[in-house]
Amino acid sequence: MKKFILGLACAGALVGADTVLELNPAKTEIAFTVSDTLHTVHGTFKLKRGSIRFDPETGKASGEIVIDVPSGASGSGMRDKRMQKEILKSQKYPEAVFTPDHVDGRLAAQGPSEVDVHGRINIHGADHELTLHFKVVAESGQYAVSTHFTIPYVQWGMKNPSNFLLKVEDKVEMDVKAAASLGRE
């Protein structure tokens, strides 16, 4: 009965007002994978902050998800130093910011749902259109959120670290898992 009442309360919050999902940086994992001829490199970035505000009736969205670019780490100090300095240029571009403008789909008050969040990501000083497909599981007012997407970093103006011995893919795979809570405005 308690879960049913909580579900009704959450459903009420999703109707008639903007819905705000606040991401918890301490409970967010941002992983990246890039392959080269020798092996696959895995690493992580940290979330600085994140919120998505949207009208469930119209889909209009705002907010931002901010990634701390200098936090990028793959476990190899030398590789990470080169990645930060030559590829990401994180001293000049310390944040990657996704700004949503539209949400398609409905967020369930309890259980699983899927939504597509369209917007722009500003990375390495340029904006790029991006749609993120989120899988969301709601339980007791908390949301587990995940998405997978590809960044064609070379196409987006970043340097490919390949050399005559090493051939690196020109895209990076991103996987995000986050905990979020519901707000209302």
Residue 150: give the domain boundaries: 2-184
> What's residue 39's pLDDT?
86
- Residue 45 sits in a domain whose CATH number is 2.40.128.110
87-110 per-position pLDDT tens digit: 999 999 999 999 999 999 999 989
Please report which confidence band the pLDDT of residue 2 belongs to, taking 50, 70 and 90 as the band edges: very low
In sequence order, the 6+-apart residues with CB closer than 8 A to the CB of 155 are 170, 171
60-69 per-position pLDDT tens digit: 999 999 999 9
| Number of domains comprising the chain | 1
Whether residue 185 contacts residue 53, with contact meaning beta carbons closer than 8 Å, is answered with yes
Token code pair at residue 130: 């991006």
9-67 per-position pLDDT tens digit: 444 444 457 899 999 999 999 999 999 888 899 999 999 999 999 999 999 999 999 99
